[in-house]
Amino acid sequence: MKKLYSALMTAFNGDDTINEQGIREMVRYNIDVNKIDGLYVGGSTGESFMLSTEERKLVYKIAYEETAGKVDLIAQVGSVNLTEAKELAKYAADLGYKTISAVPPFYYHFTFEQIKDYYDQILAGVDVQLIIYSIPALSGVSLSLDEFGKLFENPKIIGVKYTNNDFLLLQRLRSAFPDKKIYFGTDEMLISALPLGIDGAIGSTFNLNAKRAKAEIAAYEAGDMKKVFELQDVSNKLILALIDNDIYPSLKLVFEEMGVHAGYSKAPMSKPSAEMKAGAKKIYETYFK
């Protein structure tokens, strides 16, 4: 059975401090209403690369407490600062996380040997499994099939969160590594990834749109491709409307329309304008009412 994970957002107050209550409300919505299989904590959607080490730890802690073992949790610990990544991995493991994830080290165009060493160092001495976070469009780091193979030689590396539109590489990964987990991360292209044997999907829009995405997966598993197309078509209209309205703040604004107090995004992300609020209200009324 393919799994669906929401990439948890971080709620901020108007002064860019962490809004703990907002995070708790989003976790609860994902568990109680979305019936989600799990949460990806501290990724791009969580605006994590703009947080301090202590703030990243706080988000892991809130998610861990609020889920209370009810759903799977994955803590994204990657950082260009390897010391921070190792500290976060240890913190998450000590809290009780069984799975972590890490974006490759970015910005300095590290060699593959340096990237491999980064993963091995993160995993040394912590009793967790790891999912590589591959998101070349944002990290600037593209891994080849051969390089994935070398990283997968570490038995603690159990798979990849694949936010990449290279479907040839996705198919080759599936064929070459049938025992590794592949979670797809481009929500608007789920329809194209399903036939390639993914183990599930992790994404930002599932915070709001999990029911439709789960129905799409169920239709795919039942062989009803017409329904798969129809559901993806509605999802894509929704996702493109969110992107046009500035996706992370807008996901939170739509949550507010649903009565979930998701707070703000952190500067330099935008605080909502009147126009964005009107856009989010329209998205809510069109796709969720």
Q: Which of 4, 7, 77, 260 binds ligand SI3 (CB under 6 A)?
A: 7
Which of 133, 162, 220, 264 is catalytic? The answer is 133
Q: Is 240 in the site for ligand SI3 (CB under 6 A)?
A: no
Q: Which of 185, 249, 263, 279 binds ligand SI3 (CB under 6 A)?
A: 185
Told to judge if 133 belongs to the known catalytic residues of this protein, a careful annotator would answer yes
Residues 206 and 8: their CA atoms lie apart, in Å, by 9
User: Closest CB to ligand SI3 among 199 and 224?
Assistant: 199
Helix (H) or strand (E) holding 184: strand 181-184
DSSP state of 49: G
Residue nearest to ligand SI3 (CB): 43
Torsion (CA) 106, 19, 70, 76 in degrees, nearest 10: 10
**Preceding omega of 104 cis (within 30 degrees of 0):** no
Told to judge if 91 belongs to the known catalytic residues of this protein, a careful annotator would answer no
Q: Is 183 in the site for ligand SI3 (CB under 6 A)?
A: no
- The pair of structure tokens assigned to 161 is 């969160």
User: Closest CB to ligand SI3 among 18 and 202?
Assistant: 202
Q: Is 163 in the site for ligand SI3 (CB under 6 A)?
A: yes
Closest CA to 182 of 156, 162, 153: 162
Burial class from Cβ neighbours inside 10 Å (0-12, 13-18, 19+) for residue 165 reads middle
Q: Which of 19, 67, 99, 205 binds ligand SI3 (CB under 6 A)?
A: 205
Q: Is 202 in the site for ligand SI3 (CB under 6 A)?
A: yes
Q: Which residues are catalytic?
A: 133, 161
> Where along the sequence are the contacts to ligand SI3 (CB under 6 A)?
7, 40, 43-46, 138, 163, 185-188, 202-205, 239, 247
